[in-house]
């Protein structure tokens, strides 16, 4: 081989040594891009399915099943609850701590009477199917039309079947994190602080507005119901603790009507 040929061969080998790493790097980069694009297609296909919200009906149906099922609720016609309402406001001056005992009489459809027994005497709150009212110290303190729909729903023995009866508006607003739980948010009116929240994992209703929490679900006569309801307040909270529940006991319809105070 001539000296010229040897020099030419050495030049070609040197060029190959310089170019080879660049070619290899380009091939690896191209492979990464292809893999990333493929992964992206898979993720793009998976994300909508993962993030897609269920329908409002499916959320309500799941709740019904989670708390006992339609047949179990159809068997409940009346309910009598005995419990305590504890108000704890430690940041007040002076601090407030009060324990009132109460009994709640209710009927399927939402009529109810709450009889409070307090250190100062007592008071009554009721709903006759049309009018909400309260009675204290021998006088009707208020009478107004269905402003407390969440409380009416909560006291209805067949409440799981009667969302649409008690709430004129039911609209799925989305999925959020509240009280450290993922929840589906259902709007019942134009005020977000009244939203119902259903636990994504359990299907249970765990909130009926900001700082209005339903806890400690227990089984009674084939259905689950919250035995603790927390009403958050400025400086503390008021909490309903349920001690006992009876279903299908006789309840006088006249209990739900406002007392007649004329002539008293």
pTM: 0.77
Q: Which pLDDT belongs to residue 180?
A: 85
CA distances from 182 to 79, 90, 105 (A): 31, 30, 33
Q: Which residues of the chain have pLDDT under 70?
A: 1-51, 142-147, 261-264
pLDDT at 36: 42
Q: Alpha helix locations (H) across the chain? A: 3-51, 56-66, 70-74, 149-155, 163-166
Going by C-alpha positions, the residue among 124, 160, 150 that lies closest to residue 207 is: 150
CA–CA separation, 126 and 157 (whole Å): 15
In this prediction, residue 190 carries a pLDDT of 92
103-130: pLDDT as tens digits: 999 999 999 999 999 888 889 999 999 8
Task: For residues 86 and 201, give the distance between their C-alpha atoms in angstroms, rounded to a whole number.
Answer: 30
CATH code 2.50.20.10 for 56-256: yes
Q: Give the per-residue pLDDT at 44.
A: 39
pLDDT at 52: 87
Give residue 11's pLDDT: 53
φ/ψ region of 34 (left if φ > 0, alpha if ψ in -120 to 50, else beta) reads: alpha
**pLDDT attached to residue 51:** 62
Residue 148's pLDDT is 76
- DSSP character for 259? P
What pLDDT score does 206 carry? 97
pLDDT of the residue at 8:
44
Domain ranges in the chain are 1-47, 56-256
């Amino acid at each position: 081989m001539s000296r010229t040929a040897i020099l030419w061969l050495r030049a070609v080998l040197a060029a190959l040594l310089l170019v080879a790493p660049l070619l290899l790097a380009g091939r690896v980069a191209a492979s990464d891009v292809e893999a990333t694009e493929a992964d992206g297609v898979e993720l793009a296909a998976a994300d909508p399915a993962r993030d897609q919200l269920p329908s409002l009906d499916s959320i309500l149906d799941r709740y019904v099943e989670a708390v006992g099922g339609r047949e179990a609720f159809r068997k409940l016609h009346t309910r009598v609850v005995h419990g305590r309402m504890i108000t704890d406001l430690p940041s007040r001056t002076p601090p407030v701590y009060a324990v009132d005992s109460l009994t709640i009489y209710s009927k399927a459809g939402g009529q109810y009477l709450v009889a409070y027994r307090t250190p100062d005497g007592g008071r009554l709150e009721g709903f006759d199917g049309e009018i909400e009212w309260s009675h204290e110290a021998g006088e009707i303190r208020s009478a107004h039309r269905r402003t407390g729909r969440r409380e009416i729903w909560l006291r209805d023995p067949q409440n799981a079947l009667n969302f649409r009866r008690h709430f004129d508006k039911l609209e799925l607003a989305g999925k959020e994190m509240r009280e450290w739980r993922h929840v589906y948010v259902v709007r019942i009116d134009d005020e977000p602080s009244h939203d119902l929240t259903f636990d994504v994992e359990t299907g249970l209703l765990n909130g009926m507005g900001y700082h209005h929490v339903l806890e400690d679900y227990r089984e009674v006569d084939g259905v689950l119901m919250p035995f603790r309801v927390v009403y958050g307040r400025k400086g503390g909270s008021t909490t309903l603790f349920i001690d006992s529940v009876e279903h299908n006991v006789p309840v006088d319809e006249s209990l739900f009507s406002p007392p007649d105070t004329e002539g008293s």
